[in-house]
Structure 1
């Protein structure tokens, strides 16, 4: 009996010592996440010198090299088959020819040619090559929301026409009311058969062009990435009969006044009416004809995801994974201004660097993949590519934690997007770790896939959800600096950023240490992970 009792006491002591060591190691890991290091990395990545890290760009490549070098320096392992930290993605880029691109106005015998990029631009988009011409139709704000009491199109025939609309801004309460309709104005015109949409820039932008004597940006860029998941998406498509060349451009006020046959004062009155929430009357201008010629030069270049991992501590569970992701790309330079993207999304990028170091102090039983996705701002390109060409079996990914915009607004408030959609265990883990250690207040306003602002589909967690992997977007919400040149480091709340970073590390370890992968217990149609879930997931988002 004494021998057995001694063995029991020895085992109990060992377990207590081991448990204490584990707790102390995790505390050391959490304490290793510091504001000083978050700030240090952000000072470089969000600096003017990285020129907004457009996809693709040399500055984004430099940022990715910085991340990969740090991953190697820290001791993270490469995951790609070639032994590198890069998942290389070829993309097509284009730049508009300033010589061959023109906008021409014809009114009877009168002709006027406007120059690119001084009188008009392409809004920073990769352009479709083409030549279109047609009579002019002015549609005011170009908003189609008849069920909300606003329709700028009525029974206008737009087939083959050049549609002109105002950029402008509605009062804040009206912008909130119309929501998603505002993002689809050009799409509405295209669906009705328009050959082109010319958008008249707002007075603020016009004044800035005049004061700084600058022109529209004309940098080499790529178009928005579209991954074809089939017809089950319910995505609004253009009828085949209307799938002809469709062009878009932005125009300054002098050419706009000439095209509409109005004075600058009348144009200013239209913008003023719009700012008061008043509709600007639509008009058909059949006697005025516009020809738009866009001629881009195209080539193929590479961009890349940066992927590293920390091997799990359990010899059996290390072949299962938790993925943490963020995107280092932003919007580049627009109209001569650097779009630094400190919150969107250098905040998530540098948080992952700190989490990586913490994981090397105390890692969970499962392996943790850290992925910095390219091209989020171009249609979630990097995360779609990763999910569809995953370097590990996607069926072995327990969960994905997405860090995108984590350092603004209320210091104790955080949105959770998609945490409840596939697994109750994911949301429970977040709450458990938060209640024990961090104490943020969670908000589920954007959880619904069919919310008018569609946040569920707007960040890098989304492709993982399509594959049936429980994924959450930790999100501070938008601000007046969202996608503006004012999203700079001086506006960052580093204390909030620290809390979210620590929470993410703790949740990663909690999920990574569970006996089983997270259960898929919400949607009875999604019970296993894998590509077969895509039609089901797309169908619920109609």
Structure 2
């Protein structure tokens, strides 16, 4: 064993907490308790808040509640230039379609019955395509051994293809399970070829169009919401795509005296393309409309007391959004309350904010600054935290750590009968210092089982990548994600306040509180000694 390494590690451990306990930390932890947790969560996860879906009434109500709590604690709204300094508007918009039409020959087809168009794949300027003929290119493949486009110039033409499939793909041995779709046979690869070769548009044959569910129709009607990323213009010149059902496909193929069944059989038997130009006029159009969606991260700032350290910021996060109302008119319980996911984490952030604010009022405030932030859009794809990391209020270089709380109110079906645990994820991914600090805080104050079952990048559940901490970690900021695991009510109406283990919610929040106390008052910030891929960092 390398003695120098041992002594260095010991010195670092001592420098991050020579005292076993800090009496002030214990004194001001009082607001982190089960009663306070119930007060917050019974409001945030009530039916009145309608499941807190991003961009909807319930989420706006939750944001307002959190803001008022931050104000009552005495936290400052740090968002400069915004009318409400506690709110960081997140750039989210919904893309919807209008003027959708498809005509085959002289017949006008019915949207969501005969075909559909998605906002995600529609060019920014919309499209209006007309052609006197259609090239049926079978599976739309362009391979050495099977080329549907041999001798065909698709530039300026409308092409009809199957959504997926590759008749030349070999089936695996039985032990290999279902055959994976080859990349060349994927719809994405097929459309890329047509885009690169400047086709005018593509009609994609998909049998699922014939029996679209009500949920699918609702999704297609509502449009697609997403972040306004800087690369949002990448679809400006996208290929117009219309997905058609079997009736439309057969109507077009009738112009070549064939149909879907016959052409599939012919290709399968000959293993040769069946490309043909069909003299059937087609026309399809759609307009894209983009509407801004109101969605805000809610921020409360507590400035540090040490002039030398207050520019360093600890960020404590939890997402206040959930998945909204049940899309089933026959459902008896229509609200996905999200008590655990992540009303519990939001409650934890509020309790920590109150505790640290009281410490500051008593002259015992943290040396470093703390940003308490509840983010929106996590359930949609970590939108709120991504927006913050791309548009930080405080420089990311000054952000010492992110402590993220996402589901701390229940147990795990894989640990029946024992809730005295919390999963920690990410604590040693970038910083061994942070890992030691978090575990020492637990030993000194809380004594909960810190389960590291999911604390790795190769976990099949990919939890390290599935909550808001990751948008800090990807920028090299060390993180700890606190999590109680998945239960049968995950993303179900059964995630109710009545099922929350409030003593354990408070205990897990206390662990985050004491870890935050050590980080905010430690002599040095945690050293980042690993790269994002886990390899040692070299100076």
On whether the aligned pair clears a TM of 0.5, the verdict is yes
Say if 1:483 and 1:67 are closer, same or farther in 2 by CA, change over 3 A: same
Unaligned runs of 5+ in 1: 1-18, 140-153, 167-173, 230-237, 250-254, 262-282, 529-542
Do the aligned residues in 1 keep the contact of 2:421 with 2:448 (CA within 8 Å)? no
Give the 3-state SS of the residue equivalent to 2:353 in structure 1.
helix
- Call closer, same or farther: CA 1:199–1:308 in 2, change over 3 Å: farther
Correspondence for 2:454: 445
In the TM superposition, what is the alpha-carbon distance from 1:86 to its structure 2 partner? Answer: 1.7
Give me the whole-angstrom Cα distance separating, in 2, the residues matched to 1:314 and 1:203.
Answer: 66
Task: Verify the 8 A CA contact 2:121 2:241 in the aligned structure 1.
Answer: no
Shift of 1:431: 1.6
**Contact 1:520–1:527 (Cα < 8 Å) also in 2:** no
Q: In the alignment, what sits opposite 1:10?
A: none
Which one of the candidate residues 239, 244, 253 is aligned to 1:245? 239
For structure 2, list consecutive stretches of 5 or more residues without a partner in the other structure. Answer: 1-18, 140-144, 166-174, 196-201, 251-272, 329-333, 360-364
Distance (Å, rounded) in 1 between the aligned partners of 2:128 and 2:382: 30
With normalisation by structure 1, the TM-score equals 0.65
Displacement of 1:370 after TM fit?
A: 0.5
Kept after mapping to 1: 8 A contact 2:122/2:240: no
Task: Judge conservation of contact 1:413–1:443 (CA < 8 Å) in 2.
Answer: no
Q: 2:344 aligns with which of 330, 339, 347?
A: 347
* Contact map agreement 1:403 1:473 (CA 8 A) in 2: yes
Cα deviation, 1:26-59, whole Å, max 9, x if unaligned, reads 3343342233332332333333433343333343
Structure 2 vs 1, CA of residues 309 and 341 (structure 1 numbering), >3 Å: closer, same or farther? same
How big is the shift at 1:507? 0.9
Map 1:134-533 to 2 at 5 A: 160-161=159-160, 163-164=162-163, 187=188, 190=191, 195=202, 206=213, 218-219=221-222, 222-224=225-227, 226=229, 244-245=238-239, 247=241, 258=247, 293-333=285-325, 335-336=327-328, 338-362=335-359, 363-408=365-410, 409=412, 410=415, 411-436=419-444, 437-445=446-454, 447-448=456-457, 453-523=461-531
Cα distance between partner residues in 2 of 1:387 and 1:40: 31
Assess if the C-alpha contact under 8 Å between 2:116 and 2:209 holds in 1: no
Please say if residues 97 and 119 of structure 2, whose CA atoms lie closer than 8 Å, have aligned partners that are also in contact. Answer: no
Residues 118-137 of structure 1 mapped to structure 2, 5 A cutoff: 129-130=126-127
Q: Could you tell me whether the CA contact under 8 Å between 1:423 and 1:470 is conserved in 2?
A: yes
CA 164–520 in structure 1, closer or farther in 2 if over 3 Å, else same? same
Structure with higher Rg: it is 2
How many angstroms apart in 2 are the aligned matches of 1:86 and 1:480? 34
Q: Decide whether aligned partners of structure 1 residues 503 and 126 sit closer, same or farther in structure 2, where only a CA change above 3 A counts.
A: farther
What is the CA–CA distance in structure 1 between the aligned matches of 2:181 and 2:507, rounded to whole Å?
Answer: 32
Cα distance in 2, alignment partners of residues 475 and 464 from structure 1: 17
The Cα offsets for residues 272-309 of structure 1, whole Å up to 9 and x where unpaired, read as xxxxxxxxxxx999899998754443233543221112
2:71 and 2:288 mapped to 1: Cα distance?
A: 39
In structure 2, C-alpha distance between the alignment counterparts of 1:484 and 1:292, rounded to whole Å: 39
* Corresponding residue for residue 109 of structure 2: 113
Aligned to 1:55: 54
